[in-house]
Amino acid sequence: MSAQIHVEVVYVCPGHQKVIHLSLHEGASVSEAIERSGLLREFPEIDLARNKVGIWNKLAKTDAILRDRDRVEIYRPLIADPKEVRRQRAAEGKVMKKGGGEAGATE
C-alpha cells in the first residue's frame, strides 16, 4: 500500500468558494486531484484547457506532482487584461485637471 497525502482543491466563484479536502496516493498529480474533487462535474464552466491552475498561488501544470498538504487552486479566466485596464486609467488621468474632478470645472 502506498503512502497517502492530504490535499485540498479550491475553486472560487463570485460570492463563494468551494474547498474539497482529499486523501490521495503519494505521487498523485494536479489533474488527478481536480478530477477526484468532483469540481469538474459541479462546475461545468471549468475547462482545464482554458482555466489555469496553481499550487499555493504559483502557476502549475496539470501533470505536476503534489506533496502532502498542498493546496490546488483552479483559476477563473480574467475578465479584463490588467495591462489594458492600467492603460485606460492612465489615459483618463491625462484628461483630468490636477487634483481630480472634472476637467474645466471652476469653484
pLDDT tens digits for range 26-53: 999 999 999 999 999 999 989 888 889 9
pLDDT at site 57: 92
Instruction: Tell which wins on pLDDT, 106 or 13.
Output: 13
**pLDDT tens across 84-95, in order?**
777 777 877 755
Q: Considering the domain boundaries, does residue 89 fall inside one?
A: no
Q: Considering the domain boundaries, does residue 79 fall inside one?
A: no
Q: Considering the domain boundaries, does residue 95 fall inside one?
A: no
> What's the pTM value of the predicted model, to 2 decimals?
0.70
Percent of the chain at pLDDT exceeding 90: 55
Q: Considering the domain boundaries, does residue 46 fall inside one?
A: yes
48-57, long-range: CB < 8 A, 24+ apart: 50/77, 51/75, 51/76, 51/77, 55/30
Q: Considering the domain boundaries, does residue 106 fall inside one?
A: no
pLDDT at site 91: 76
**100 has a pLDDT exceeding 70:** no
Q: Considering the domain boundaries, does residue 96 fall inside one?
A: no
Write the CATH number for 20: 3.10.20.30
Q: Considering the domain boundaries, does residue 105 fall inside one?
A: no
Q: Which domain holds residue 60?
A: 4-74
> Residue 28 burial by CB count (10 A; 0-12/13-18/19+): exposed, middle or buried?
buried
| Number of domains, the chain | 1
Q: Considering the domain boundaries, does residue 51 fall inside one?
A: yes
